[in-house]
Structure 1
């Protein structure tokens, strides 16, 4: 019985918190920055991957 009452209390508290009954103050920061455009850099092609030599199987 106590568990059921606890669940109802938590649900009611959650509804009360998210229904907007509690006044909230939100801060907004307005920063006026120009759009940063990355420079167009032509990079050389990377070298082809080289697989390491396989270990010789003793036999």
Structure 2
């Protein structure tokens, strides 16, 4: 819920999430411990959001 609803000036707090969401993607799944690099663990607790986009005709 935090990932989808937390906003800063009506945009997603994370710039990568904002890019994908503004281009028609939606959050599909959270992958826990998908990024166990030092940066991934410190900034995102190892969580990676998988997004999906539906292709319009």
**TM-score normalised by L of structure 1:** 0.18
Higher CA-based Rg? 1
Bigger helix fraction: 2
**TM-score normalised by L of structure 2:** 0.19
Higher relative contact order (CA 8 A, sep 6+): 2
